[in-house]
A and B are shown apart, each in its own frame.
Chain A
Amino acid sequence: QVHLQESGPGLVKPSETLSLTCIVSGGSISSYYWSWIRQPPGKGLEWIGYIFYSGSTNYNPSLKSRVTISVDTSKKQISLKLSSVTAADTAVYYCARFVGWNDGPDIWGQGTMVTVSS
């Protein structure tokens, strides 16, 4: 059974870069799309972007200038970098898998909380 595990610093200072990783276990990273989605405390879900295992990406235009998603297939790892963070970037960050380009996420990680504060 495929399992996703996010990890990274729980606290990031304003203007710095948020860096998270997602480890895929129990299944292949190849042939799938891997996305990042976030949820501010008490609020709804926001799509950040995705990466295909081959490396092609698509980002939410609202975050595009600050987001980089990368993949390391040898480590079965997906990474998220979000630069110039502010308090508005405080959220639970989820990684999630989807099967086809025209599909929605079917498997989610448990999420990791990131707080932006000095």
Chain B
Amino acid sequence: DIQMTQSPSSLSASVGDRVTITCRASQGIRNDLGWYQQKPGKAPKRLIYGASSLQSGVPSRFSGSGSGTEFTLTISNLQPEDSATYYCLQHNSYPRTFGQGTKLEIK
């Protein structure tokens, strides 16, 4: 199985800040990576697919980059509603595997 190592596990930032979350794959996965946002009691929602493509309807302050083994999710101009847990998911091979999650708190 491909292991996805996500960091940090948690972070705190203020409205208007820019934050970056990183995911590292244990082997190359091309650009077969998605980023998901999950709020308490809700299902995950896809933000990014193909490492850098923005899901329809998702604000442009969310962006993704990377290829191979290193990937980042960047949230610019942080908003209160961005408080959530974020997960990466590799969709290069089976079984699909998720990162451990990053809990983002808005100060």
Contact = CB atoms under 8 A, between A and B. Distances in A.
Interface string B12-33: 0000000000000000000010
A108 B100 CA distance: 19
A106 B95 contact: no
A45 B95 CA distance: 12
Interface of B: 1, 32, 34, 42-46, 49, 55, 87, 89, 91-92, 94-101
Interface in A77-118: 94, 96, 98, 102-106, 108-111
Contacts of B95: 47, 49, 58-62
Contacts, number: 55
Nearest to A4: B43
A104 B49 contact: yes
A48 to B, nearest CB: 9
A46 B95 CA distance: 9
B49 A108 contact: no
21 contacts: A44-B87, A44-B98, A44-B100, A45-B89, A47-B98, A59-B95, A61-B95, A62-B95, A94-B44, A96-B43, A98-B91, A102-B32, A104-B34, A104-B46, A104-B49, A104-B91, A105-B44, A105-B46, A106-B55, A108-B43, A110-B43
